[in-house]
C-alpha cells in the first residue's frame, strides 16, 4: 500500500439503501446548487456566500454543499493509488476547485470549507471502509457535522458515483447524506474513535468482525464533551491525543499503522514549526533590541554633537535632559530584551554577544554625561560654559 494515500475505492456493489437517510423535500437547495453561476464557483467564499444568500437553514445549506460537491467534482480514479496525502489542505481545495477533479480528500476538503465559511461546525474524518463485508485497506476521508445539535455524517465522494470496469461513473445518491453515526459505522471506520460519534465506540477488531461492542464490557464515552476538549487543544496536542486514542483502540491492520505514521510525521512537522516559530520570535526580539540600540546611538551622537558645540544654539534645560533620558530608556529596553533571550542557536548567541559590547560602551558614556548634565543644570548659567573645559574628555 502506498504510504500516506488518502482515497478510497468506489465500488458499484455497495448495497443501496443501507444508510438511507430520510431526505425531506430538498428540491429547493438542490436547484440552488445545480444552477450556481460559474462566477461564484471559483472560490469557497463566493460559493458559500451564494448558498447563504439563497437558503434559509443549516439543513438546506449543508444539503446544497453535499449536492454541489458530489455532482460538480469528478472522482480522480487515475490518481487513486499514487495520491500522496497533503499537509497543505488549502492547496488541495484550490486544486480541487480548479480541476473539478479529486480523490476523497479533495471532496472532503471542499465540503468542510463550505461548512466552515457558513458557520456550520464540521470536521474531516479519516479512516477506512468496508465493502461487501470486507475491509478495504485504503484510506478514505468523509465529513461529520453538527446540525441542530445532532451529529451526522456525509460522504460526498461515495455520493458522487462509483467505479466500474476501471471507469468512474457519475451517479448521485442520497445514501451518504446526513447519515446517523450508528449506521455509518457499519461501513466507515474512523482511525480516531472520537469521530465515530458513538457513546460506545467500536474497536478496530469490532469493525473488522462486523460485531457491535458489548456495552457491558465498555466504559461510557462522552464524545460531545471530548470534542469540546479537542477543540480547545493546540494542534500538536490534538495530534498526540489522537495517536493515543488510535493505539488504545487497536492497531490490527496496515492501514491504521500507516495512518499513525502519517500523524507522527504531522506531529513532527508541528514540533519543527513550533521550534522555528520560537526561533523566529527570538530573532525578531533580537532585531528589536538592535533597532533600539541603533536609535539610541543616533540620538546620543546628536547629543554629543550638540555638547561639542557647548549646547549652542540654546535650548531649554528640560529639552537637553530629555535627549539623554531618551537615550537611556532606549538602551535599557535593548538591554532588557537581550537579557531575556535564551538563545538555542549558536549564530544568535554570537550576535547577542556582539551587541552586548557596544551596548555596554554607549551606556557607560551616557552615564558619564548624565553626571555632567546633573552638574551643568545645577550650575548658574553664567558659569556653565566653564564646565565644558572641565569635561573636555567627554566629547571624545
Average pLDDT for residues 245-267, to the nearest whole number?
Answer: 91
Grid cell of 387 as nine digits? 564646565
Q: Are residues 216 and 307 in the same domain?
A: no
- pLDDT for position 13: 31
List the grid coordinates of 134: 470486507
Q: Per residue in 50-80, pLDDT tens?
A: 999 999 899 999 999 999 999 999 998 876 6
Same domain, 334 and 223: no
Same-domain pairing of 238 and 289: no
Residues 51 and 100 in one domain: yes
> Are 307 and 245 in a shared domain?
no
Q: Quick one: 192 and 73 in the same domain?
A: yes
Q: Do 125 and 269 share a domain, yes or no?
A: yes
| Per-residue pLDDT, 7 | 40
pLDDT in tens, 220-240: 899 999 999 999 999 999 999
> Within 10 A of 247 (CB to CB), how many other CB atoms are there?
12
Q: Tell me, yes or no, whether 17 lies in a domain.
A: no
Residues 49 and 170 in one domain: yes
Q: What is the pLDDT of residue 160?
A: 94
What's the domain count of the chain?
2
Give the pLDDT confidence score for residue 142 in this predicted structure. 96
Q: What are 161-212's pLDDT values in tens digits?
A: 988 777 888 899 999 999 999 999 999 999 999 999 999 999 999 998 888 8
Boundary (domain end) residue, out of 249, 274, 299: 274
Q: Is 145 helix (H, G, I), strand (E, B) or coil?
A: strand
Res. 92: pLDDT tops 80:
yes
Q: Is the confidence at residue 316, as pLDDT, over 70?
A: yes
Do 173 and 292 lie in one domain? The reply is no
**How far, rounded to the nearest angstrom, does the alpha carbon of residue 331 sit from its chain's CA centroid?**
37
d(CA 146, CA 367): 65
Say whether both 211 and 356 belong to one domain.
no
How far CA 109 is from CA of 122, 165, 186, 289, 391, in Å, comes to 11, 27, 23, 43, 73
Residue 183 forms part of a structural domain: yes
What's this model's pTM, rounded to 2 decimal places?
0.73
Domain of 333?
282-395
> How many CB atoms are located within 10 Å of the residue 119 CB?
10
User: 270 and 366 share a domain?
Assistant: no
Which cell numbers hold the place of 209? 468482525
In a domain, 55, yes or no: yes
Q: Which of 230, 251, 274 is the last residue of a domain?
A: 274
Domain stop point among 241, 274, 307: 274
Is it the case that residue 86 has pLDDT exceeding 90?
Answer: no
Residue 82 lies in a domain: yes
241 & 123 share domain? yes
Helix (H/G/I), strand (E/B), else coil: 125: strand
pLDDT at 395 over 80: no
In a domain, 10, yes or no: no
Q: What is the pLDDT of residue 164?
A: 79
Residue 380 has pLDDT above 50, yes or no: yes
Quick check: is 3 in a domain? no
Phi-psi region of 22 (alpha: psi -120 to 50; beta: other; left: phi over 0): beta
Residue 15 within any structural domain of the chain? no
Q: How many Å apart are CA 254 and CA 9, to the nearest integer?
A: 16
- Strand partners for 131: 134
Average pLDDT of 132-158?
92
Any domain includes 66:
yes
Amino acid at each position: 500500500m502506498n504510504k500516506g494515500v488518502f482515497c478510497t475505492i468506489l465500488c458499484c456493489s455497495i448495497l443501496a439503501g443501507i444508510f438511507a437517510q430520510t431526505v425531506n423535500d430538498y428540491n429547493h437547495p438542490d436547484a440552488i446548487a445545480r444552477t450556481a453561476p460559474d462566477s461564484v464557483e471559483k472560490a469557497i467564499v463566493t460559493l458559500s456566500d451564494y448558498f447563504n444568500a439563497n437558503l434559509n437553514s443549516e439543513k438546506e445549506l449543508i444539503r446544497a454543499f453535499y449536492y454541489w460537491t458530489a455532482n460538480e467534482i469528478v472522482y480522480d480514479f487515475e490518481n487513486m493509488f499514487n495520491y500522496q496525502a497533503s499537509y497543505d489542505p488549502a492547496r488541495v481545495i484550490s486544486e480541487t476547485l480548479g480541476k473539478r477533479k479529486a480523490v476523497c480528500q479533495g471532496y472532503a476538503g471542499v465540503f468542510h470549507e463550505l461548512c466552515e465559511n457558513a458557520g456550520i461546525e464540521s470536521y474531516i474524518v479519516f479512516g477506512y471502509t468496508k465493502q461487501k463485508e470486507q475491509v478495504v485497506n485504503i484510506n478514505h476521508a468523509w465529513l461529520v457535522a453538527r446540525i441542530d445539535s445532532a451529529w451526522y455524517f456525509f460522504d460526498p465522494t461515495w455520493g458522487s458515483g462509483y467505479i466500474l470496469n476501471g471507469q468512474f461513473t457519475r451517479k448521485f445518491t442520497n445514501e451518504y447524506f446526513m447519515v446517523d453515526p450508528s449506521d455509518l459505522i457499519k461501513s466507515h471506520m474512523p482511525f480516531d474513535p472520537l469521530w465515530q460519534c458513538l457513546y460506545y465506540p467500536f474497536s478496530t477488531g469490532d469493525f473488522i468482525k462486523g460485531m457491535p461492542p458489548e456495552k457491558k464490557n465498555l466504559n461510557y464515552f462522552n464524545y460531545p464533551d471530548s470534542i469540546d476538549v479537542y477543540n480547545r487543544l493546540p494542534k500538536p496536542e490534538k495530534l498526540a491525543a489522537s495517536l493515543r486514542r488510535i493505539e488504545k483502540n487497536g492497531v490490527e491492520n496496515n492501514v491504521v499503522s500507516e495512518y499513525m505514521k502519517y500523524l507522527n510525521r504531522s506531529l513532527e512537522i508541528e514540533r519543527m514549526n513550533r521550534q522555528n516559530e520560537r526561533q523566529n520570535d527570538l530573532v525578531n526580539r533580537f532585531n528589536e533590541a538592535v533597532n533600539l540600540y541603533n536609535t539610541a546611538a543616533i540620538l546620543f551622537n546628536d547629543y554629543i554633537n550638540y555638547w561639542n558645540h557647548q549646547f549652542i544654539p540654546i535650548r531649554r534645560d528640560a529639552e537637553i535632559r530629555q535627549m539623554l533620558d531618551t537615550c537611556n530608556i532606549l538602551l535599557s529596553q535593548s538591554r532588557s530584551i537581550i537579557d531575556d533571550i535564551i538563545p538555542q542557536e549558536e549564530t544568535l548567541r554570537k550576535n547577542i554577544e556582539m551587541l552586548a559590547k557596544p551596548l555596554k560602551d554607549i551606556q557607560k558614556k551616557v552615564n558619564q554625561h548624565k553626571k555632567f548634565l546633573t552638574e551643568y543644570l545645577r550650575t548658574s548659567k553664567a558659569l556653565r560654559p566653564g564646565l565644558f573645559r572641565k569635561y573636555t574628555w567627554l566629547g571624545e
